Amino acid sequence: MVLYRRNLIPGGTFFFTVTLADRRSSALVNHVGILRAAFRNARSLKSFAIDAVVILPDHLHAILTLPEGDADFPGRWKSIKAGFTRCVAASGVSVPRNRHGEYRLWQSRFWEHTVRDDADFERCANYIHFNPVKHGLVTAPVAWPYSSLHHYVRKGLLPADWAGDGCNDGAGFGERAE
């Protein structure tokens, strides 16, 4: 088994990709209200800031900032994933189980990246907001309803037509080329 090393920086800002086990599923957008409630519940137990987020049918991307002195983002994701799974199952939706009878809605792990500076934050946020276009779900980022882009537009941080001319292929968004 591979030993995953997490960069547990108290008060850090992190970019995450969290994915459903079935990449053909649309459970996240089909039950987005339950997902939002799972985030709210996790935040009520252990605070964190959601700096940017996009919910796609089978995965989500988010930038989260933890409080000073706190590095437990794995615990927060465990809470979000478990809360969402329990509520989806309780709503009567059939949720797959593994051979031990445990729910198998999510991939067991998630990917994280420590946000290093303001430029890195901007790249990650741009990646998040452009992701629905990248996946062919919409032709302009503002057309996707499950994105923090709408918050950025309301706050005047980005224009409503940001990256919406159909000419941007997302180059330069996401991870920095080494």
Given 4, 103, 146, 152, which residue is catalytic?
146
CA 175 – CA 35 distance, rounded (Å) = 26
- The CATH fold of domain 13-116: Alpha-Beta Plaits (3.30.70)
Separation in Å, CA 153 to CA 1, 99, 104, 118: 44, 46, 36, 19
Residue type (1 letter), 137: L
The pLDDT assigned to 177 comes to: 42
The pLDDT assigned to 9 comes to: 83
User: pLDDT band at 175, cuts 50/70/90?
Assistant: very low
**pLDDT higher than 60, residue 167:** no
CB-facing half-sphere around the CA of 140: CA atoms within 13 A: 9
User: pLDDT band at 13, cuts 50/70/90?
Assistant: very high
- pLDDT averaged over the chain? 89
Longest Cα separation, the chain: 50
**pLDDT higher than 60, residue 166:** no
Higher pLDDT, 65 or 95: 65
Closest CA to 172 of 114, 122, 117: 122
Measured from the Cβ of residue 173, the count of other Cβ atoms closer than 10 Å reads: 19
Domains of the chain by residue range: 13-116
152 is catalytic: no
